Amino acid sequence: PNPNPNPNPNPNPNPNPNPNPTPQPQPQRLGRLAGGAGQASGGAGAMAAEGVIAKVVAAVNLAYTGEAHNRQARKDADNWLCEFRRQPEAWAVAGELLAQPDAGHILHFFAAQTLHTKLRHDFKELPEDQVLGLKQTLLAHLMKALASSDKPVVNKLRLALAAIAVQTNWHGFADDILSGAAAIAPDAGPGAAEMALLFVVEVIPDECRSERLNVPAPQRRAFLEALDGMAVKVFEFIARLSTSGDGATVQRLVNPMLRCLRAWVEHCAVPPTALVQSPLFYATFQALNGESGFEESFEEACDAAVGIMRKYDAAAPANAPVVQEMVPRIMALAPRLRVAKETDPDEFRGFVVLFTEMGEAFLDFLLSDRDVGQQAVFELLLECTSCDDPEVARIPLQFWYRMRMRISEFDHMTQDALMSAFGPVYKQLLRILLPLGRHSSDYNVDSFEVMREYVADALDDCCMMIGAQDVLDDICRALSGAMGLLLGLSPARQLEEWQATESCLFAITCIRNRISVRDSAVFGDLIFALPQLPPVDALRTSSYRIIGYFAAVFRSRGDLLEPCFQFLLAGLGNKGTSHDASHAIRDVCETNFRQLGEPVLGLFDSLGGAHLDSVDENAILQGLSAILCNLPVPRCDQFLQHMLAPSMANLALAAEGKGGADVAKELDKIAVFMKYTRPLEEHVEGLAPEHHPVVLALQRLWPVLAAVLARYPNKSSIVERACRIIKHAIRSAKRHITTDTLRFVTDEMVRFFDAAPQSAFLYVTSICVADYSGGERAAENAQIFCGALVRLSQRVSTILNTEASFDQHPDIVEEYSYLIARYLEVLPSVLAQSGFVPSVLAFAGQAMRVTQREAHTGVLFSLTIFLMLGVPPRDDKRPGGVGLKSNPLLRLSPEEQRMVIGTVQQALAEHGAALVAMLVRVLTSGMPFIGYEGERASPGTVIYGLLQCVPEAFQAWLMESLGSVPTQINENEDKQEFMVQLSKARGARDCTDAAYRLWRRAQNGHRRQAFQAGVGGGPG
């Protein structure tokens, strides 16, 4: 072969080839890798050490074929191999493994993958005089892999050749590969060299654009421009291959030829006129038409046609030649679509994809104000949509969505014109959608549910195009006809032929957000008819949903409320309908609580025999809570006490170790009442705090909750549920929570936490601080909160007293950090006066060592707010440089601001150096990087806060801490670059990016160390 590594080669892909190329031996440095695949490697120094090869083989066997139960060993082996690929000796080892014919598929795949990786990332390691031999070696191994049909190895080797083509500006790859393959394997059979060429040519454009290919940007751009320039000649070159052999050989080449067309069209700038004149373009439609010699190429032809349509935007005038050629040729395939629908499901699916892609790609062309045959295209797409196979039918539904969205992008006048012009098409679509949503025994459950999601979206598109009222009218007409037919059948046949009625009911539920119940005549008549439908679960489910979604209709049709409520109650006894019935009862109660009143509360006493799951039962309890809210306070308290009594009794027994109650389930029931029982303002206006129903309920509940917490002190699921009850009660009672009640609750949280440290107690305290730190009693409440913080902090310090303890109790680290953040946010001046600020900073500096993501984010968040308090607020009211939405300092007087800022600055002077040392440790010690993906806080928000608060001191602390990081982990250049990037940072995002780069390089350093430590004994 005659590869051309000249940096300014002839861009013609068909230079004058050497008619009789002969493989030439090349200088030996990297063993077999540098010579031909069959050559002996030169010298002991050129051979990879046998010991290293043995370790690689052992690691590959363990990583790829090791015992499944030994996951850690396989993971260690895989990590070791990943690090090995970064080493210079990986070139030689990969060459040796590929040259061993008996190495087996797995080792050959690893070797080919390694060479591809090295060529992408470490090409500079390869001596210049080895490049020519490497191309030859890769091509030789590609021919062998093609002969043995080893597709994974073929793929990696062709990608490696593509990578080396870009790295060496190998513009003459076409002739070189073709002639080289023929010379290397002259006995491979007809078409073998051409097949090798097509396999490589297909992936060159994609590999050139790959971000994983480490090549200078100017070189990449230059090669891409060269590919653009040679694309037409490459197509001609490939097309000539189809005339150089017998029919069987050409037929084998058609598929890779079409794949090349798709790849080059996708990644290169092929002029539209040149494309439609290419023989490959016409070969695409020969395959789509099933012409002789192209029978096995339908799928590749579909992909190529789709790729062309996606590349050439119909809105661009320059692409008119492609549009004008593609649309009529694809439309001419309509008869084949109809034949395939009856005879070949796979081919039919391909045609549906093709027509859908045509509609989407040429949508602006179809939306033209002149007649370009749009109606024929829309009718064909409607025909595709009406397919019985849900997997296929939902493909064109994407087109109708895109068409609706494209119309919505025009100005209002144009929108109205387009909706008027194409509204009838959506009317036709609506008639197709109703049957598409029907139940069928041919559907599996997953396909049916996915199909219904698509139908629901398409119904929404119809609402937008022709109006929700028109859609509802059409559905109701269809429903009326379907219900008339259904109710006219015998009871036995009704149980078999209900699907059309149910699909109409389902359609109404899909457009519920687009319509209102003001048209009470429609909904009143509909809801009146629902109880008459046969007792089929699917029918009942859709009926119950309609009653729940449109429960407001009972405000004007009160006569329907009682029979419909009884209809819903009947559904509770059926496992197939109980979920929707219970949620509909909730919706009816919440919407019609004034009409229902006390009588419906009797439902509570019958729930025990309904055998509902907890979610459904709690939905009903939520609805009953809405009824309670409308009652006068005495009656509300009476009923609430009655409804809480069974759960309280069961919990009391459980606390004594008696009974068989599900404690978590009983606590959840109580939590529902505490959350949703919020009496109307008209009933609690002027009410004494001690008479509020929720306050009274909390007082009655407290002994039971305390007993449960004492019984299950270490069961976090129980503790969290009990605390959830307290949280909801505090929020539901609002201003009726007195200072004494608040003191009692916070004291109890401290007592519970002291006895059994659970993070939920910290969370409840945080809620109290957030909800009751302002108002008339702010000063008195602040003293309560500060006392609670001191006592909680003392207990936390006894738990988090070793380095390992932070990772052992991540939940406490997380909630305590957010508790601190809450105090800093709502009580900054009180906290500053308490002398507690230095302790906050000291804790955060220690807690940054925690590796659990949520806990670490909480620590960074508390630090972010802390540092915000050390910077004077900006005049434009934005936060002080740490990227949060509000600055607590803005709520303080100027004197208080100066006091808080001074306190924070003093704390940083005392503990800042230790904080920065821990921050550097987090970034360089191998811990995971947290905060790069947009979490609430990140190392960048902390770093930027420090730059804003104490810029000079921070830089000094940072330089000192970075100096202690070994150069094996982060080289001095890494540290200097980090400092420079911080000096240019304009915000927290810039600091996060700089910190991430430092962390990534530290990770690489740790991997290098781990690999070097493992070289002596291999992985594991």
Phi, psi of 819 (to 5 degrees): -65, -45
What's the CA gap between 913 and 923, in Å, rounded?
Answer: 15
3-state secondary structure 213-258: CCCCHHHHHHHHHHHHHHHHHHHHHHHHHCCCCCHHHHHHHHHHHH
- Which of 868, 827, 867, 861 has the alpha carbon at shortest distance from 847? 861
Mean pLDDT of 219-227: 94
Taking CA atoms, 938 is separated from 373, 417, 882, in Å, by 56, 51, 10
Contact partners, residue 683, CB within 8 Å, separation at least 6: 631, 632, 633, 636
Q: What share of the chain is helix, strand, coil (3-state, %, to 5)?
A: 75, 0, 25
Predicted local distance difference test score (pLDDT) of residue 373: 84
What's the CA gap between 159 and 242, in Å, rounded?
Answer: 24
* H helical segments located in 611-662: 614-629, 633-655
Contact call for residues 43 and 28 (beta carbons, < 8 A): yes
Contact partners, residue 543, CB within 8 Å, separation at least 6: 505, 530, 531, 533, 567
What's the CA gap between 928 and 935, in Å, rounded?
Answer: 14
The Cβ-side half-sphere exposure at 563, using a 13 Å CA radius, reads 11
Q: Which two tokens stand for residue 227?
A: 């590919």
The more confident residue out of 962 and 773 is: 962
The angle, 0 to 180 degrees and rounded to 10, between the axes of the packed helices 151-167 and 192-209 is: 60
Contact call for residues 355 and 381 (beta carbons, < 8 A): yes
Predicted local distance difference test score (pLDDT) of residue 399: 95
Confidence check: pLDDT of 85 > 60: yes
| From 69-83, 194-208, 695-709, 711-725, the region with the lowest mean pLDDT | 69-83
* H helical segments located in 268-372: 272-277, 279-288, 298-311, 320-331, 334-343, 345-361, 363-366
Q: Which two tokens stand for residue 989?
A: 């995002």
Per residue in 513-525, pLDDT (tens digit) is 998 877 557 888 8
Contact call for residues 177 and 196 (beta carbons, < 8 A): yes
Mean pLDDT of 302-325: 91
Mean pLDDT of 675-693: 90
Confidence check: pLDDT of 536 > 80: yes
Q: Tokens 């007649």 — which residue? A: 371
Confidence check: pLDDT of 56 > 50: yes
Taking CA atoms, 42 is separated from 94, 348, 597, in Å, by 16, 58, 96
What's the CA gap between 327 and 325, in Å, rounded?
Answer: 6
What's the CA gap between 463 and 457, in Å, rounded?
Answer: 10
- Dihedral over Cα of 845, 846, 847, 852: its sign: positive
- Which of 639, 552, 657 has the alpha carbon at shortest distance from 600? 639
Q: Which two tokens stand for residue 166?
A: 């870009």
- Dihedral over Cα of 799, 803, 806, 808: its sign: negative
DSSP 775-812: STTHHHHHHHHHHHHHHHHHHHHHHS-STTHHHH-HHH
DSSP 652-674: HHHHTT-S---HHHHHHHHHHHH
The pTM score is 0.81
At residue 647 the predicted structure's pLDDT band, cuts being 50, 70 and 90, is very high
At residue 43 the predicted structure's pLDDT band, cuts being 50, 70 and 90, is very low
Amino acid, res. 229: G
How many CB atoms are closer than 10 A to CB 274? 15
Predicted local distance difference test score (pLDDT) of residue 64: 83
Taking CA atoms, 188 is separated from 47, 418, 813, 918, in Å, by 29, 60, 67, 63
Per residue in 225-260, pLDDT (tens digit) is 999 999 988 898 888 876 666 667 778 889 999 999
Predicted local distance difference test score (pLDDT) of residue 565: 94
- Which of 657, 585, 655, 640 has the alpha carbon at shortest distance from 616? 585
Mean pLDDT of 629-654: 95
Contact call for residues 301 and 326 (beta carbons, < 8 A): no
How many CB atoms are closer than 10 A to CB 681? 8
At residue 31 the predicted structure's pLDDT band, cuts being 50, 70 and 90, is very low
- Supply the DSSP symbol for 927: P
Confidence check: pLDDT of 470 > 60: yes
Confidence check: pLDDT of 25 > 60: no
How many CB atoms are closer than 10 A to CB 548? 23
* H helical segments located in 950-987: 951-963, 972-983
Q: Tokens 């310090």 — which residue? A: 797
Amino acid, res. 492: A
Q: Which of 30-39, 630-639, 767-776 has the highest mean pLDDT?
A: 630-639
Predicted local distance difference test score (pLDDT) of residue 190: 79
What's the CA gap between 27 and 43, in Å, rounded?
Answer: 11
Enumerate long-range contacts of 880-885, CB under 8 Å, 24 or more apart.
880/948, 881/944, 881/945, 881/947, 881/948, 881/987, 881/988, 882/941, 882/944, 882/945, 882/948, 882/988, 883/941, 883/944, 883/987, 883/988, 883/989
Confidence check: pLDDT of 760 > 90: yes
What's the CA gap between 535 and 771, in Å, rounded?
Answer: 49
At residue 4 the predicted structure's pLDDT band, cuts being 50, 70 and 90, is very low
Amino acid, res. 930: I
Contact call for residues 254 and 303 (beta carbons, < 8 A): no
The more confident residue out of 482 and 437 is: 482
What's the CA gap between 888 and 869, in Å, rounded?
Answer: 7
Rounded percentage of the chain residues whose pLDDT exceeds 70: 91
- Dihedral over Cα of 174, 175, 181, 184: its sign: negative
Per residue in 702-746, pLDDT (tens digit) is 999 999 999 999 999 999 999 999 999 999 998 899 999 999 999
Amino acid, res. 450: V
Rounded percentage of the chain residues whose pLDDT exceeds 90: 67
Q: With 0-12 CB in 10 A as exposed, 13-18 as middle and 19+ as buried, what is 222?
A: middle
- Which of 36, 29, 41, 39 has the alpha carbon at shortest distance from 140? 36
Confidence check: pLDDT of 430 > 80: yes
Mean pLDDT of 334-348: 93
Residues for the chain: how many in total?
1020
Taking CA atoms, 232 is separated from 17, 26, 199, 224, 226, in Å, by 19, 34, 18, 14, 11
What's the CA gap between 124 and 112, in Å, rounded?
Answer: 18
Predicted local distance difference test score (pLDDT) of residue 48: 46
The angle, 0 to 180 degrees and rounded to 10, between the axes of the packed helices 894-924 and 853-868 is: 140
- Which of 206, 223, 235 has the alpha carbon at shortest distance from 8? 223
Confidence check: pLDDT of 376 > 50: yes
